[in-house]
Amino acid sequence: MRRESTSARAPRIRTARRAARVLVFGGCMGAATASVGMMPEEIAETLEAMPEEDLIVYEPEEGEAEHSVTVFTDVTCPHCQDLHAELDAYLEQGIRVRYAAFALSDASRALMDQVWCSDDRHEALEAAKSGEEPEAGACDASPVEDHQEVAQQIGVPGTPTMATPGGELSFRLTPEDLADLLEQEAH
């Protein structure tokens, strides 16, 4: 029996991974685009319209980011905290991470308003995801409500949800799988 070369198998492996992500995401979280009827192109346009200054953005240290992903997060969500603990691995893959708020409860909503109202959002996010109270004063301009509306509009079913520039929604992916997905989407 002849073995296929690695390069010949790669498209099938990526297709199988993508199918598995769709099954897991659709089965556990609900089919995001089907529930709202938005096409990936419409989701992409909606994400692109989010003001960059309203997001908490982490950039790869070396060189320019090869890809970008928007992550809808709740600071009290254990899966979001795990993803954030692995943030460096995503950055090392050349992925720019843009956090948008998606509060799962009133308590986390108040905490997320504090994070997004903080003078140093990165520091406040680190504190909140570590279970500490972030330092922040009251503000009238928290973008959390706007993020919630976008999340509901595009069909974010839970956290952490990763939204690619091409409008694909997925539950948390490993840094390698996300890099593969973003690379496929770019070509």
Q: What is the mean pLDDT, run by run of 10 residues, along the chain of 187 residues? A: 41 43 38 59 96 96 87 96 95 96 93 93 94 80 93 94 95 93 90
Task: Give me the pLDDT at residue 61, please.
Answer: 85
Q: How far, in Å, CA of 105 to CA of 102, rounded? A: 9
pLDDT number for residue 136: 74
- What is the predicted pLDDT for the residue at 49? 96
pTM: 0.80
Q: What is the model's pLDDT at position 142?
A: 87
Question: What pLDDT does residue 150 have?
Answer: 96
Cα maximum dimension of the chain: 68
Domain 6-186 - what CATH class?
alpha beta
Residue 138 has a pLDDT of: 67
Cβ–Cβ under 8 Å, residues 61 and 95? no
- Residue 31 is predicted with a pLDDT of 35
What ranges do the domains of the chain cover? Answer: 6-186
Q: Which tokens belong to 163?
A: 């939204």
What residue type is assigned to position 23 of the chain? L
Q: Alpha-carbon distance 185 to 178, whole Å?
A: 10
Q: Are 67 and 95 in contact (CB under 8 A)?
A: yes
Instruction: Output the pLDDT for position 36.
Output: 54
Give residues with Cβ within 8 angstroms of 72, minimum separation 6: 100, 101, 102, 147, 151, 156, 159, 160, 161, 163
